[in-house]
Amino acid sequence: MGELAVIAIGGNSLIINEEHKTVEDQYRAICETAVHIVDVIEDGYEIMLTHGNGPQVGFILRRAELAYEISGMHIVPLVSCVADTQGALGYQIQQALNNEFHKRGISGQAVTVVTRVEVDRNDPAFSNPTKPIGSFYSEDQIEDLRIKHPAWHMTYDSGRGYRRVVPSPVPKKIIEKDAIEFLIQKGFCVVGVGGGGIPVFKNERDKYEGVDAVIDKDSASGLLASQLKADLLLISTSVEKVFLNFGKPDEKPLDRITAEQAEKYMDEGHFAPGSMLPKIKAVIDFLNRGGKRAIITNPVSLKRALRGESGTSIYPG
């Protein structure tokens, strides 16, 4: 076996723009990303793939709300929306990967594992929602949304508009970790922990129970990478590198930094909540738990980033 890389794909990276966010559009974006992932496999890496689901969960919730308003159909619980996106996006990712394997004459096979992640039911996140889901809304739309959905929590996200936020508890345990590890050892390219995993907790009867929340995908991916003792955590996002003072005239790209430097920049407020901040936190946690290397870059730069020619590489110590 080659080195094991856990690659996390952002849910927003599957939405090209407001005009291209249908299921077919997402699949085309996944097919493009699959090309770059298979490039990494051809370079000798074993791959464990995770993905985000923020926009996709938002779409499902909105459809359910409209169906309830128009015909009285039942509301779909948030925890079920997370499971739904694991299956739907996992299907698209494994199909795109398997087609790319066939095209290149590679004998590998991708498979999706519907993955639960244990959280603490008393996590403070349940009283302080922070995880963005769904579409971005403009200033003109926000007042109407607040009237129609008074229970929604909304936040302004990185200059891109308003988004709904939901509880995002800290992941404690990847329940299907052993199954994922077994499949990797058998040579499968595994897709798992979709959307950060399906959040569950142990109830008073010591049985697992689902809970309405969305676990941060990067945090869960970092935890899984640690539990698998992966050599590399690679977080794929919409930008080639991490920047200081992002979007300002004096913005500065980061090529290679330590976890200590990343934490210093984080404390100085360089990374926006809901976008780069959770990625930096996940990387720091992974490296502090014994990880060897982490990279943040965009899909098209994956191969070059692994060779040190692109992206932001972060090391321990």
Q: Enumerate the active-site residues.
A: 11-12, 131, 217, 279
In whole angstroms, what is the distance from residue 243 CA to residue 251 CA?
Answer: 6
Q: Is the dihedral of CA 254, 259, 260, 265 positive or negative?
A: positive
End-to-end CA distance of the chain: 27
Q: d(Cα 292, Cα 316) in Å, to the nearest integer?
A: 7
Bridge partner residues of 198 (DSSP): 116
